[in-house]
Structure formats: C-alpha cells, structure tokens
C-alpha cells in the first residue's frame, strides 16, 4: 500500500513538473515598458509604448523582434491585440529585418476589423488565405494565436480557428514558410493598433 501511494504521489509530482516546464517554455517578448528587444525600421515615431502595450500609429513602418538571435521555425505565438476604428496592421512571421518598404520575406497575419479600404480581415494570411468577415471587434482586446509546424499554419482569434493552412511544397517566391523572426506593422497615420502580452514558445 505504501509503495502504491508513493507511486501515485510520484505521478502527481511528475505531472506538476511537466506542467511547470510547459509553462516555462513561453517567453515574454515585450517587457510592457520599453521597446527593448525590438528594432524599428523606417519611422521610429510610428511605434511607442503606452499603458503596457506597443502602440502602432503613424507612417508605414515595421517593428522587428530582435530579442532572440536564433531564428524561429516551428513555434506558437500569442498576443493580445486591440484595434481602433478603421485601423490596419499586421503580424509578420518567418520574416527578416529590412530597412524600408513592406516586408518581402514571410507571411503577414492580417489585423483589420473595420479598415474599409481592404476587404481582408483579422486572422487571414495576407493574399494567401483571405478572411473576409472580421472575427473580432474594435476597441476590445482579443487574443491572436499563431502556430507553425512544418508547412502547417494555424491561426486562432479568441480560440476560434480562422486559418488552417498547409503550404504547398513547391510554393514559389519569398512569401512562404522558412524561418526568421516576427514583425509588427504600422500601416498608416490613420490606423491605431495596440499589442500586449506578446509571447512565443518554440516547438520541435
């Protein structure tokens, strides 16, 4: 009986350890106060920090994650996002720093709930998997989740799957899965989008 009880205790402790290890794998990408670990390209004034969030507002610019030099390949990413009315932004994956222009490498995961100049809405893989009905609302924080495993991309908004995409092995060009970092987009002076609690977890 004593041996059985010890075995049960051991299993419980192992479960707690595994859960702790799983939780510890998530890495905070943003300290809530500064842009340390991030690098802006064209227009530094297009990104700021307010109330614990990265604020994207201003002329076109992109904020690249440089807090980890090792490229990301398979991963889970999540962040809380809030858009103001008629705002556009994006979250780039498998991209690389470039001095100017729209990033040419990697996919853009769209952020747009009511920006009426573009029909592609939040959660879509821009120009690849188009989401035409916004799964979130302006002025409300929502959870943006991205998972990449091999050639498979899953995007969820508030736990609802909006993209389940398998990339063709022969996809041409640079808008495809490879490896790289993340980038946040400042789309235009009329758009205001906020990002907070940005986290990433590497997968095998």
Instruction: Provide the sign of the torsion angle of the four alpha carbons 115, 117, 123, 126, taken in this order.
Output: negative
- What is the average pLDDT across 93-119? 98
By mean pLDDT, which of 8-17, 66-75, 113-122, 145-154 is the weakest?
A: 8-17
Per-residue model confidence as pLDDT tens digits over 20-66? 444 449 999 999 999 999 999 999 999 999 999 999 999 999 999 99
Could you tell me where the beta strands, DSSP code E, fall in 100-180? Answer: 107-112, 142-149, 152-157, 160-166
Percent of the chain with pLDDT over 90: 88
Alpha carbons 81 and 56: distance in angstroms, whole number: 11
Per-residue model confidence as pLDDT tens digits over 152-188? 999 999 999 999 999 999 999 999 999 999 999 999 9
Alpha carbons 95 and 153: distance in angstroms, whole number: 15
- What is the average pLDDT across 71-87? 98
Instruction: Provide the sign of the torsion angle of the four alpha carbons 104, 110, 111, 113, taken in this order.
Output: positive
Alpha carbons 17 and 11: distance in angstroms, whole number: 10
Q: Which CATH code fits 28-202?
A: 2.60.120.560
Burial of 157 (0-12, 13-18, 19+ CB in 10 A): buried
Domain residue spans in the chain? 28-202
The whole-number pLDDT of residue 109 equals: 98
Alpha carbons 142 and 140: distance in angstroms, whole number: 6
Report whether pLDDT(10) > 50. no
CA-to-CA separations, 30 to 37, 50, 89, in angstroms, rounded? 7, 12, 18
Average pLDDT over all residues of the chain: 91
Locate 106 and state its tokens.
């990697």
């Amino acid at each position: 009986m004593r041996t059985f009880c010890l075995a049960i205790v051991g299993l419980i402790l192992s479960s707690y350890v595994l859960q702790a290890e799983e939780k510890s794998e998530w890495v905070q990408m943003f300290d809530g106060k500064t842009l340390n670990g991030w690098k802006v390209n064209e227009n530094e004034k297009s990104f700021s920090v307010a109330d614990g969030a990265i604020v994207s507002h201003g002329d076109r610019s992109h904020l690249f994650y440089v807090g980890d030099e090792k490229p990301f390949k398979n991963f889970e990413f999540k962040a809380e996002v809030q858009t103001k009315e008629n705002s556009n932004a994006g979250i780039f994956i498998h991209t690389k720093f470039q001095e100017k222009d729209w990033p040419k490498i990697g996919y853009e995961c769209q952020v747009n709930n009511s920006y009426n100049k573009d029909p592609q809405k939040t959660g879509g893989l821009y120009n690849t998997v188009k989401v035409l009905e916004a799964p979130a609302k302006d002025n409300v924080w929502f959870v943006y989740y991205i998972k990449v495993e091999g050639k498979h991309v899953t995007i969820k908004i508030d736990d609802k799957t909006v993209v389940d995409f398998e990339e063709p092995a022969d996809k041409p060009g640079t808008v495809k899965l490879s490896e790289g970092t993340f980038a946040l987009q400042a789309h235009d002076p009329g758009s205001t989008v906020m990002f907070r609690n940005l986290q990433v977890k590497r997968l095998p």
